[in-house]
Amino acid sequence: MGFYQLVDILGTIAFAVSGVLVAMDKRLDLFGVLIIAFVTAIGGGTLRDLLIGNTPVTWMRDLTYVTIIPITVLLTIIFSHQLKYLRKSLFLFDTIGIGLYTMLGIEKGLEANLSPIMCIALGTMTASFGGVLRDILCNEIPVIFRKEIYATACILGGTLYFIIHLLGVAEEYAYVVGILAVIVMRILAVRFSIRLPNIYSSKN
C-alpha cells in the first residue's frame, strides 16, 4: 500500500466515523447512518474526481472504499459508547479528516497538472464537501458556512505545503507538515475561539 493510498483510507475512515456520530445524534435508522457515513466519506472525493475528469470516480473503481466504510460504520456503532468518553470525538475525527483530505486533494490536483492555487482549491473542496453534504442531509447549517475556522485551515495548510516544498523539503515531509498544519490550526482555532470576522451588526 502506497503512502497516498494510506492517507486516503485514513481520511475515509475518519470522515465515515464523523458521519456515523452525526447520524446517530440525529437518531437515524441503520440505513440512514450508513448513507450519511458514505456521503461524508466519499462526497469530497467524488466532487474532486468529477472536476478533474477522473471518471468513473475512485470509489467506483476501487472496492476498498465500499468495503471499509460499512466496516467502519459497524465498529463505530458497536463502540459508540466508548467514543462518547472521548471529549468532542466528532470534532476530532472531522478535523483529522479535513487534514488528510486537503493534502490528498492537492496531490490529485498536482497529478492533473493544475496550478498551486487550483490545487489548494481542489484540496479544500475535497476536505469540505463531504461534511457539507452530511450537515445538509442532517438538517444542519454546514460548518464551512459558519464563523468557525474550517476551510480557512485547509487553505492555509495547503499554502504551507507549497511554501515548504519550494524550500527544498522532501515532498513526503512537506505533505505530512501540511496535514498536521490543517489539524493544528483547526484545533487551535476552536480551543482559543478564533473566528472569522462577523459581517453583521450586533443588532441583528
CA distance 167 to 161: 10
What percent of the chain is modeled with pLDDT above 90? 69
Judge whether 127 and 101 are in contact, CB under 8 Å. Answer: yes
Banded model confidence at residue 199, pLDDT cuts 50, 70, 90: confident
∠ CA 24-26-31, nearest 5°, is 60
**122 with 114: CB under 8 angstroms?**
yes
Terminal Cα-to-Cα distance of the chain (whole angstroms): 53
User: Mean pLDDT across the chain, nearest whole number?
Assistant: 90
pLDDT at 108: 94
pTM: 0.88
Give the chain's largest Cα–Cα span. 55
The pLDDT assigned to 106 comes to 96
Residue 155: the pLDDT is 95
Query: What pLDDT is recorded for position 20?
Result: 93
Cα–Cα distances in Å, from 193 out to 21, 82, 134, 160, 188? 23, 27, 24, 22, 8
pLDDT in tens, 93-148: 889 999 999 999 999 999 999 999 999 999 999 999 999 999 999 999 888 887 67
Alpha-carbon separation of residue 145 from 67, 90, 110, 136, 150 (angstroms)? 31, 18, 27, 11, 9
What is the C-alpha to C-alpha distance for residues 52 and 114, in angstroms, rounded to an integer? Answer: 9
